[in-house]
Amino acid sequence: MAAARVMVSASNTLTASLLSKGPLRRPNSFTLSFKNGTAQKRRIFTCSAIYNPQVQAKEEGQPETLDYRVFFTDNSGRKISPWHDIPLHLGDGVFNFVVEIPKESSAKMEVATDEQHTPIKQDTKKGKLRYYPYNINWNYGLLPQTWEDPSFANSEVEGAFGDNDPVDVVEIGENRGKIGQVLKVKPLAALAMIDEGELDWKIVAISLDDPRASLVNDVDDVEKHFPGTLTAIRDWFRDYKIPDGKPANRFALGNKPANKDYALKVITETNESWAKLVKRSIAAGELSLV
């Protein structure tokens, strides 16, 4: 049985930012922040964005059907992409995280990177909806404006090539997210998963709203305040394909989670890869850039 369906209200308001309306999103060297009514420039690697607190996640179709989609719109009703149009950086080591799969659920939801506006849908295999063999124990989703380049061989991770998707996040906080919810998180660690030969990073993070968020700032803090969690995450992602008759996934970097600094390095590099993608410096193939 799939876990309880998560309904996304049409009135669900998310805090996010939107890119300029042009079809080509050009990376810039600064974004605007507002403090005491004064605009200030901050040097970060992102796209120029306009702050807008009225982004909504709206579902179309019925959950657990092939037609089900969760689209994102701005306050004018214009569809936007959760992958391309929600900014990555929030400053001070804080990032936006888009929930695809709420904790304690099993429907394999993901951003449709090959569909216009990249809505969230349930993944399929041979025309059938996909479910994990058991519930995932953490909120799971993506970092917007990141991309694991399938043409880049990472020499630090066995020369593995990227999996052609945004970077995944495992959010370990106690609250259960909702499909399409945007959370502010801080990265704590990184796991270098090798899935059928492809590099599939898992960034371990925590929502700033979690009661223990102030206690965890790096990989060692996770083990102290969430004992056993890093091992449980690794083992879950290592084994979840075995019931389908596939081999276990592997982990590089000594089969251990890398620290926060390494996680930030991964985020920076994959943000740069995404920027090259949307500038069309790298062929997009079937990926949607809208």
| Residues with active-site annotation | 132
Output phi, psi for 195, to 5 deg. -110, 105
DSSP class per residue in 105-145: EEE-EEE-TTSTT--EEE-EETTEE-EEEEEESSEEEEETT
Maximum CA pair distance of the chain?
58
> Which residues partner with 19 through β-bridges?
49
Buried b / exposed e along 6-17 (16+ C-beta atoms within 10 A): bebeeebebbbb
279: its two tokens: 């500038």
SS3 278: helix
Q: Among 162, 164, 186, which residue's Cα sits nearest to residue 173?
A: 186
Amino acid at 193: M
- CA 142/CA 270 separation, integer angstroms: 12
